[in-house]
Amino acid sequence: GAVVSQHPSRVICKSGTSVKIECRSLDFQATTMFWYRQFPKQSLMLMATSNEGSKATYEQGVEKDKFLINHASLTLSTLTVTSAHPEDSSFYICSARGHSSTDTQYFGPGTRLTVL
Amino acid sequence: EDQVTQSPEALRLQEGESSSLNCSYTVSGLRGLFWYRQDPGKGPEFLFTLYSAGEEKEKERLKATLTKKESFLHITAPKPEDSATYLCAVQRYAGNNRKLIWGLGTSLAVNP
């Protein structure tokens, strides 16, 4: 149980284009989803938190107009990197948390974004 | 300020050589402490949640313990497949969507 998928697993795009990453909870309802960014050999950096049906809450320093997050259903959240630039190249990981009181976040496999 | 510190930063063991990883924390009102394992190029895999001092949890060769100031992840007779980065995170009771505060991880390498 508690499986989270991400798609695509890897994407290469040209500078200036937009990229959408999907995060799905496959066997539970995710009331809250989180989006992280991870640089090589560093820990996870939380970008934003989204609750189903509500606007995402962004961490300080994260541009909400650049990183658009939508959490339209209890099983799907999307992250769109708009007008991507090479400095946006990174490993993006989502996690999902359900109704359970354990508060455990279950992570997707991650998406490697490379902007040329 | 809430903080999580993991040590050592890196650890190299021989297969079968038991050891412990440390996660020390300062947080006002601990709701839970989480251990994850992360393989290169993959998302973190959930291992344990600990809620109160004195609590212990086990899974195969791993055992996690918790005190009021720190948590240990004990690895008994490790195998090469236990090689990974082990991440510790804490969660406060109040506010901020109960987000996790992360340590920088311990990179474990187990040699055959």
- For B48-80, the pLDDT digits (tens) are 999 999 999 999 999 999 999 999 999 999 999
Instruction: Specify whether the CB–CB gap between A59 and A37 falls below 8 A.
Output: no
* Residues 6+ positions from B106 with CB-CB distance below 8 Å: B6, B7, B8, B9, B10, B11, B21, B85, B86
Confidence band of A33 (pLDDT split at 50, 70, 90): very high
C-beta atoms of A103 and B31 within 8 A: yes
Inter-chain CB pairs, A–B, below 8 Å: 51
Q: Closest approach of chain B CAs to the CA of A36, in angstroms?
A: 10
Integer Cα distance of A79 and A115 in angstroms: 16
Q: Tell me what pLDDT residue A52 has.
A: 83
Q: How many CA atoms lie within 13 A of B108 on its CB side?
A: 30
C-beta atoms of A46 and B99 within 8 A: yes
Integer Cα distance of B13 and B40 in angstroms: 18
User: What burial class does residue B4 get, using C-beta atoms within 10 Å of its C-beta: 0-12 exposed, 13-18 middle, 19+ buried?
Assistant: buried
Residue A43 has its nearest CB partner, among B46, B49, B87, at B87
B86 touches chain A (CB under 8 A): no
